[in-house]
Amino acid sequence: MSERAAVPDPIRLLDLREQALSVDEVLSAVDGPGIGGTVLFIGTVRDRDQGRGVTELDYSAHPSATAALRSVAENVASAHPGVLLAAVHRIGDLQVGDLAVVVAAAAAHRGEAFSAARALIDDLKAQVPIWKQQRFADGTTEWVGAPE
**pLDDT tens digits along 84-107:** 999 999 999 999 999 999 999 999
In sequence order, the β-bridge partners of residue 106 are 38, 84
Predicted local distance difference test score (pLDDT) of residue 60: 96
Any residues with CB less than 8 A from the CB of 132 and at least 6 apart, and which? 57, 58, 59, 60, 143, 144, 145
Predicted local distance difference test score (pLDDT) of residue 146: 72
| Contact status, residue 115 vs residue 103, Cβ threshold 8 Å | no
Domain at 38, CATH number:
3.90.1170.40
Q: What is the mean pLDDT of residues 17-37?
A: 96
Domain extent at residue 40: 11-144
Q: How many separate domains does the chain show?
A: 1
In a domain, 76, yes or no: yes
In a domain, 34, yes or no: yes
The CB density around residue 92, as the number of other CB atoms within 10 Å, is: 13
Sign of the dihedral defined by the CA atoms of residues 143, 44, 38, 33, in that order: negative
In a domain, 123, yes or no: yes
Is the whole-model pTM more than 0.85? yes
Predicted local distance difference test score (pLDDT) of residue 55: 95
Predicted local distance difference test score (pLDDT) of residue 54: 95
Predicted local distance difference test score (pLDDT) of residue 144: 86
Predicted local distance difference test score (pLDDT) of residue 134: 94
In a domain, 6, yes or no: no
In a domain, 4, yes or no: no
Predicted local distance difference test score (pLDDT) of residue 5: 41
DSSP state of 137: T
Predicted local distance difference test score (pLDDT) of residue 148: 63
Choice between 59 and 8, residue whose per-residue pLDDT is larger: 59
| Contact status, residue 136 vs residue 142, Cβ threshold 8 Å | yes
In a domain, 2, yes or no: no
